[in-house]
Structure 1
Amino acid sequence: MGMSVTISAATAQDVEQIFRLQYLCFQREAELYDNYRIDPLVQTLDSLRAEVADDLVFVARLGDEVVGSVRGFTDPDGTGLIGKLCVHPRLQGHGLGARLLLAAESALTAERAATRYRLHSGHRSESNLRLYRKAGYAQVGAVTGADGVQLILLEKDAADRDFVASA
């Protein structure tokens, strides 16, 4: 391809690309759980627009194409909540997910004073869980999501940001 992938804050102009990418990327998760009502697949475009306006949303770009995305916000107790991390299937396995995760963590600490980070993944999503564990996250619980999928809850203290993104 000859181009490098850059990570930057998402803009309102990115919303439709993020929306399409999210739908593409989470098909594999839906298939894994035989559940096509998971949150990333039923989210509305207007809801995503609101997230881009209000939350910290980052994209990975290859030229003009959005090939990855992640979102984060803080809850009232200072925990940075990270979600909907996705990378285009053709670019998975090259460290983009790790780079997006690090961007979200950095911004949550710098811009929102997060003291720890929390995220979740489906209990069968081994590649996601492997990424999060490699990034220093530890399981702190499990819940069943509104869509019926069993979720593993993972956390990491913001002071433990010793993870180095690899490409």
Structure 2
Amino acid sequence: MSGRKHRPVRLAAPTPADLGPILADHDRYWDGRDLRSLHHPIYCRQFADTGLVAHGDGVLGYLFGFVAPAGEGYVHLVAVRDDARGTGLGRTLYERFGELAAARGADRVTAITTPGNAGSIAFHRTLGFTAETVAGYSGPGADRVVLHRRLDREPVRIGPARAADAGEVLTVQQAAFVAEALAYQAAIPPVRESVTDVAAAITAGRVLVARDGARIVGSVRVTPTGDGTEAEIGRLAVAPDRQGEGLGSRLLAAAEAHAGPVERYVLFAGHRSERNLGLYRRRGYTETHRTLDPVGVPVVQLAKPRHTG
């Protein structure tokens, strides 16, 4: 976020010496939930090779887990300290654990949470987990949500669009923005573009796409300003059936990287587009002003200086 200082983060296997500081700062990881009894030293000793601790200004986060003989990587605990949230550290811990588990023969990752923990369930879904409520999982009356993700799935890759992608990019863009157009009862620019318009942007090197195998599941556009000090990021679109997996955040990060050495990034969203505005604010964008788009829809203009996280 824009007000957060950068700290170098180093991931390492947990050691017995990490357990003391983690328990001392327990409330900063768990927000009042007392889970001290779950912090068994076995995760810093016998299972240390499949655990992770993020070191920076102290312990910023950690993941305790193991790989079962049947080929299942199980996440026992994962936590990020209150002042390191929103930085992508939780995702990084999961991705690294997946690599460790796969290297030990695991073909899936599993975690559990309580049915009322909506935040945890939503977070895991952004990482590609499925969620299933299992009655009595932890005993009579103790239902749990079991979260699964396979490790053999081809990762979604983000890169420049090709000339032949124009039609598919437009289809994804229109599908992503049609609900917003209906909400505003206006033919907003993303839904009334033509294939020719998209092809021209691709030719200019301004379009990035997210590919899941041969399918395009998202896209974003990066347009430099005339003097090269700013880059406008727009047309951020994720296929409706792939929304909620974190692709929007990944596309936005890729767009910022693609923009090059500009001084700041700018973008806009409809004033009632709370989901998009929430994403941009979490990524460090702040409102600069409000105006009307070409069809008269009120939009919020936002900006973010480069290198602010």
- Give the structure 2 partner of residue 56 of structure 1: 206
Give the Cα separation in 1 of the matches to 2:225 and 2:264. Answer: 11
**Does the CA contact (< 8 Å) of 2:169 and 2:216 recur in 1?**
yes
What is the CA distance between 1:76 and its match in structure 2? 2.1
Give runs of aligned pairs for residues 128-167 of structure 1, distance below 5 A: 128-160=276-308, 162=309
- Unpaired runs of 5+ residues, structure 1, are 163-167
CA distance in 2, matches of 1:9, 1:86: 15
Larger CA deviation: 23-32 vs 125-134: 23-32
Match among 237, 240, 245 for residue 94 of structure 1: 245
* Partner deviation per Cα, 1:94-146 (whole Å, 9 max, x = no partner): 1100110111100102xxx3110000000000000000000000000001111
- The separation in 2 between residues aligned to 1:144 and 1:73, in whole angstroms, is 19
C-alpha distance in 1 between matches for 2:191 and 2:160: 22
**Secondary structure, counterpart of 1:159 in structure 2:** coil
Residues in 2 aligned to 1:149 and 1:142: alpha-carbon distance in whole angstroms: 10
Q: Which residue matches 2:179?
A: 28
Aligned length in residues: 157
Query: Shift of residue 47 of structure 1?
Result: 1.0
The percentage of aligned residue pairs carrying the same residue is 38
What does residue 39 of structure 1 align with? 189
Q: CA deviation at 1:4?
A: 2.0
- 1:84 corresponds to which letter in structure 2? R
Stretches of structure 2 that go unaligned for 5 or more consecutive residues are: 1-149
Deviations 1:55-83 (Å, cap 9, x if unpaired)? 42110011100000000021024101000
1:34 positional shift: 1.6
Structure 1 or 2, whichever has the larger Rg, is 2
Q: Which residue of 1 aligns with 2:266?
A: 118
Distance 2:154 2:238 in 1: 16
Measured in 1, the distance between the counterparts of 2:196 and 2:212 equals 25
Secondary structure of the residue aligned to 2:259 is helix
**Equivalent position amino acid for 1:26 in 2:** F
Q: Matches of 1:7 and 1:146 in 2, distance apart?
A: 30
Q: Which of 223, 226, 239 is residue 76 of structure 1 equivalent to?
A: 226
- Report if the CA contact (8 A) 1:26-1:40 is conserved: yes
Indicate the RMSD between aligned Cα atoms, in angstroms: 1.2
Which has the higher relative contact order, 1 or 2, with Cα contacts under 8 A spaced 6 or more apart? 1
Partner of residue 165, structure 1: none
Normalising by structure 2, report the TM-score: 0.50
* Alpha carbons 2:160, 2:205 under 8 Å: kept: no
Equivalent residue number for residue 63 of structure 2:
none
Q: Does 1:12 align with 2:163?
A: yes
TM score, norm. by length of structure 1: 0.90
Give secondary structure in 1 for the equivalent of 2:231: strand
Q: Which amino acid aligns with 1:66?
A: I
Distance 2:241 2:191 in 1: 19
Picking from 62, 65, 70, the partner of 2:215 is 65
Once the two structures are superposed, what CA deviation does each residue of 1:26-63 show, in whole Å capped at 9, x if it has no partner? 1111111121x110111111111110111421100111
Q: Compare the two structures and name the one with the higher helix fraction.
A: 1
Between stretches 136-145 and 8-17, larger displacement belongs to: 8-17
Paired residue type of 2:301: L
